[in-house]
Amino acid sequence: MRDYDLPSYEPTSVGNYPELGIALGRGAPSIYYIPGTLITNPSHTRQSSSDMASSFGTGVANLEWLSPIWGSVWRWPLLLAAIWLLHTTFITIYRLTWHPLASFPGPILARASYMYEFWFDVILEGRYTRRIEELHREYGPIVRINPDEVICNDPRFIDVVYPTGKEKRIKSKHYLAAVPPGLRLATVGTEDHDHHRLRRGSYVNFLSRAQIMKREQLIHEKAQQLCEKLLRYRDCGPFQVDAAYSCFTTDALTEYCFGQSLGNLETPGWNPSFRGTIDNITSLFYLTRHIRALARLVDIMPLSVCRFISTEISSLLELIRITVPQLVERAKSPNGTDAGEKAPTVVQAMLESGLPAAEKSFERITSEAIALVLGGTHPVSTTVTIATFHLLSKPEQLERLRSELRTVVSDETKLPPWSTLEKLPYLNAVVLESLRLVFGVASRVSVIAPDEELLYTPAEEALGASGVKTSYRIPPGSAVGVSAYVIHNNSTLFPNGEEFIPGRWLDEHGQRDRTLEKYLMSFSKGHRQCVGMHLAYCEIYIAVAALALRVWSNMKLYDTTLSDIAYDHDQLLAMPKKGSKGVRAVMH
């Protein structure tokens, strides 16, 4: 039988057909060439390894037909990949060896890349603060948590990081990347120290303690309105407590700042204007911090498109582009009307300030208004909600509070001034303990000392600092922060930190003890402290007093446990466990 039952063709060398010389070249086996078919001559002798190498080199030289493909498809991607790999390798080596923060302790992945933080905050959804607490136990009181930032758990260092004097602090770009769209022109989104001071100064007097005390009657009226509505809600089934309190904070805030209440307490049900929006957008904070293009995309995205893509983003854009601009427009003239007694507004305060004209644009003032709305709604309502849960769970604490309030209140519908209420030791202790468990910005507010080297020396008893003898120099331009959650759970300051213990703020005689108050970070610290802090305190004291006297004796928790209110993770703000329905109650 013949080896090949084919027509006879003359053997040929691949050298005569360079297009067939792929990986073969001179000296390759003779082949028969049939269009569309290659058949080798079985009688051809096998090549030596040296001949094969020579043939391979010649074959590569004959790949001229691949040149267009190589040039147009593979060359640039491979070149870019090589450049990226070299750049990443160099940056990693630099961050671990020559970076100004290279000597600070921390996980190697956190020191080398932002992906460590991304994993805990984005993939695991807000778990980096808890991880940082663990890192302090492992590495000591100061830890490098990403390539350009360190965090400290030593309470003695708080006033160094957040000073109140002439020292300058600017916000880190990494922190500001989490600021949602609409707030980047506001004071809270301002990076530079002097620029921040200029913007804050335009309305800080409007929110000063003295100014609030002049107008606190409207806060009293809203608190009594809240009580009346809750008492009318008897036998109407369970409701979300934080939603009810958000109606109060929203109405009080908008009337005080913009001269006109949104009327949440006057409408049926508990549907606060902003609380749902705030809860929805918090999930975006860490995502936009690490994927900054997403924030820019949200800025330019049409509202009609957002409604189909994400209810969270669309609710944020409605707040930024429709609701708050309408408030600002009405607040340009006091009370938004030409008739009647005219109350001042925060918008007027900014317009009449010494700000440059560019700082008085409608867009920028709207940005400040958005910051006030978002920052003034959630913390106050959450603080009162935490007080509600714990006092209803511990009747003896509620009764002690009610007994103390009765010493200054003869008519439950007419409370004494805020200045009188805050002097009551146990009421003050309840408020401070509730604020401690709210945390404010639970993660950390990272700042930069642009012109100053910060020196940190661990104390012998500092958490995780056993055997640490060295001091750490934080060079100018490096980000440093302190976590409110970590400080508020520091076992040295606050033993059993996850428990609600108002007595920790009292001395042995039951009087106010101010020792721990300097460590309370619910409103941040230093130059960047919350500008609306005094308004928040006024609302909290008045609301807690009114509810304790008139409502809580008729309120009962409904299908709610500690896990529905306790810190589980954070999205800048502290969040309970996933799937929690919040604190729910019934009126009877």
Q: Could you tell me which residues are annotated as the binding site?
A: 530
Q: Which residues pair with 135 in a beta bridge?
A: none
Q: Give the C-alpha separation, 385 to 377, whole Å.
A: 12
- Assign 433 to helix, strand or coil: helix
Q: Give the C-alpha separation, 505 to 479, whole Å.
A: 32
Whether residue 374 contacts residue 366, with contact meaning beta carbons closer than 8 Å, is answered with no
Whether residue 392 contacts residue 555, with contact meaning beta carbons closer than 8 Å, is answered with yes
Q: Give the C-alpha separation, 505 to 511, whole Å.
A: 8
**Dihedral of alpha carbons 287, 288, 292, 298, sign:** positive
Q: Which residues pair with 585 in a beta bridge?
A: 239, 557
Please give the C-alpha separations between residue 137 and each of 130, 445, 477, in angstroms, as whole numbers: 11, 21, 27
Whether residue 56 contacts residue 25, with contact meaning beta carbons closer than 8 Å, is answered with yes
Q: Give the C-alpha separation, 530 to 188, whole Å.
A: 9
Length of the chain (residues):
588
Residue (of 339, 336, 304, 333) closest to 318 by Cα position: 304
Binding residues for heme: 530
Whether residue 583 contacts residue 565, with contact meaning beta carbons closer than 8 Å, is answered with yes
Q: Which residues pair with 587 in a beta bridge?
A: 555
Q: Give the C-alpha separation, 244 to 269, whole Å.
A: 8
Whether residue 314 contacts residue 303, with contact meaning beta carbons closer than 8 Å, is answered with yes
In this structure, what DSSP letter does residue 105 have?
-
Which amino acid belongs to residue 526?
G
Residue (of 261, 272, 283, 266) closest to 239 by Cα position: 272
Q: Give the C-alpha separation, 363 to 179, whole Å.
A: 16
Whether residue 319 contacts residue 274, with contact meaning beta carbons closer than 8 Å, is answered with yes
Q: Give the C-alpha separation, 485 to 444, whole Å.
A: 8
Q: Give the C-alpha separation, 373 to 365, whole Å.
A: 12
Torsions phi, psi of 216, nearest 5? -70, -15
Which tokens is 259 given? Answer: 């001269």
Q: What is the largest CA-CA distance in the chain?
A: 121
